[in-house]
């Protein structure tokens, strides 16, 4: 069965500092990985996805994610945090053809401190 782990429920970062939100996954075959963001009282918005062959993926709002196959990780990063980045972030994995359910992690609440 496929799964996603987000080991940190809460991450606090000072404004202007780099941020990392961690994600590890487990899936048979090639992984299809995604990051979503949820602002208060809103649905989930797509941030970025892993594309086979690109270990560093760039997405919306200046976010990027680093794929590491040996560590089965897909950490979300941003070089300089903004207060407006404060939100709930979800990592998700989908299996290969024939097993295409999208499975989410438990989420990480990111708070950027002014």
Partner 1 sequence: DADVTQTPRNRITKTGKRIMLECSQTKGHDRMYWYRQDPGLGLRLIYYSFDVKDINKGEISDGYSVSRQAQAKFSLSLESAIPNQTALYFCATSDGRGPNTEAFFGQGTRLTVV
Select 20 or 38, whichever has its Cβ closest to partner 1: 38
Question: Is there binding between residue 43 and partner 1 (CB under 8 A)?
Answer: yes
Out of 8, 20, 44, 73, the only residue in the binding site for partner 1 (CB under 8 A) is 44
* In the complex, minimum distance from the CB of residue 43 to partner 1, in angstroms, rounded to a whole number: 4
Q: Please state, in angstroms and rounded to a whole number, the distance separating the CA atoms of residues 108 and 99.
A: 26
| Strand pairing class (32-38; 44-49) | antiparallel
Are the beta carbons of 109 and 79 closer than 8 angstroms? no
Helix (H) or strand (E) holding 93: strand 87-94
User: Which residues are at the interface with partner 1 (CB under 8 A)?
Assistant: 6, 9, 32, 34, 36, 42-46, 49-52, 90, 94-97, 100-107
């Amino acid at each position: 069965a496929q799964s996603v782990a987000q080991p940190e429920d809460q991450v606090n970062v000072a404004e202007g500092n780099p941020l990392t939100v961690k994600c590890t996954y487990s899936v048979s075959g090639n992984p299809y990985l995604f990051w979503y963001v949820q602002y208060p009282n809103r649905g989930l918005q797509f941030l970025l996805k892993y594309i086979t062959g690109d270990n560093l993926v760039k997405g919306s709002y200046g976010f990027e994610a680093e794929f590491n196959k040996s560590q089965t990780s897909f950490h979300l990063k941003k070089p300089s945090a903004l207060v407006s980045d404060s939100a709930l972030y979800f990592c998700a994995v989908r299996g290969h053809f024939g097993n295409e359910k999208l499975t989410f992690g438990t989420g990480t609440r990111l708070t950027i401190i002014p």
